[in-house]
């Protein structure tokens, strides 16, 4: 060994790298939420709408108010209701034809009694006896003043009859019979014309001028109105189809 290495100092260790301090990102103010954006949009729309309304000329508001008032008055007076067809104005011998029956008034008389039917008017009353030609246009038998099978025609003697006297409230029930005098209930077969007589009791001062009008109604057909009798067919009066006006004579 030589003296070159004796007593030599050891080599110094390398210095460590400087520490890296993380820098936080700059703070960012939070943006508006979805709810705030929606509220802002709504306020903008309402503001624009309010400005647009404010810019409408005053005379347009007055005109609109007048139109609304006119529409309300027309509605209250029934002006917007569906128009009903005017009834046909007929006389003696003219046929009033509906969808399921046809009737023609042949004769009308005032009397105090009908001996063959044991009818007699009370004091202050009189009988209006009208003879008509009936035809059943339906496909089932119908009764006049009665029910045939399961069909309730309601021609007379109901709260809302298909045939009723114009402007006069008859007294009690009407009587009906065949004009040929045959006994039994009046049942009309489909497609078979029959002469039928109906007698109404009316006040003695009714029809003072001798002119009698009969209202003829179209028919609304209802089926199965009663749960326990689902097969029952009921005829109800619909719009006024015709008005037959005749001169009634005094019976001798």
Thinking of the domain 88-250, which architecture would CATH place it in?
A: Sandwich (2.60)
**Model pLDDT, residue 106:** 97
As averages over each run of 10 residues, the pLDDT of the chain (252 residues) reads 49 58 55 65 75 72 76 62 75 96 97 94 96 96 88 92 92 92 90 96 94 96 65 90 96 82
User: According to DSSP H, which parts of 107-173 are helical?
Assistant: none
Per domain, the residue ranges of the chain are 34-76, 88-250
User: What's the pLDDT score for residue 1?
Assistant: 46
Q: By C-alpha distance, which of 249, 103, 245, 119 is closest to 175?
A: 119
pLDDT of residue 140: 92
Paired residues of 102 in beta bridges: 97, 135
Residues 6+ apart with CB under 8 A from 67: none
Closest CA to 174 of 240, 127, 110: 127
Distance CA 98, CA 163 (A): 12
* Predicted TM-score (pTM) of this structure: 0.66
């Amino acid at each position: 060994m030589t003296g070159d290495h004796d007593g030599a100092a050891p080599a110094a260790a390398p210095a460590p790298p400087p520490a890296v301090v993380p820098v936080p990102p700059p703070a960012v103010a939070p943006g508006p939420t979805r709810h705030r954006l929606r509220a802002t949009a709504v306020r903008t729309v309402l503001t624009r709408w309010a400005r647009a309304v404010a810019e409408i000329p005053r005379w347009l508001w007055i005109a609109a108010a007048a139109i609304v008032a006119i529409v309300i008055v027309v509605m209250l007076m029934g002006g917007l209701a569906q128009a009903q067809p005017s009834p046909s104005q007929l006389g003696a011998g003219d046929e009033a034809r509906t969808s399921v029956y046809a009737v023609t008034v042949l004769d009308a008389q005032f009397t105090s009694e009908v001996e063959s039917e044991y009818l007699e008017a009370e004091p202050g009353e009189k009988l209006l006896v009208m003879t008509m030609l009936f035809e059943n246009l339906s496909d089932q038998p119908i009764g006049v003043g009665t029910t045939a099978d399961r069909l309730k025609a309601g021609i007379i003697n109901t709260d809302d009859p298909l045939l009723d006297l114009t402007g006069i409230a008859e007294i009690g029930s009407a009587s009906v019979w065949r004009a040929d005098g045959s006994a039994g209930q009046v049942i009309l077969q489909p497609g078979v014309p029959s002469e039928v007589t109906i007698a109404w009791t009316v006040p003695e001062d009714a029809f003072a001028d001798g002119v009698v009008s009969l209202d003829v109604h179209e028919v609304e057909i209802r089926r199965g109105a009663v749960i326990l009798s689902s097969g029952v067919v009921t005829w109800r009066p619909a719009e006024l189809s015709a008005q037959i006006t005749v001169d009634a004579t005094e019976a001798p």
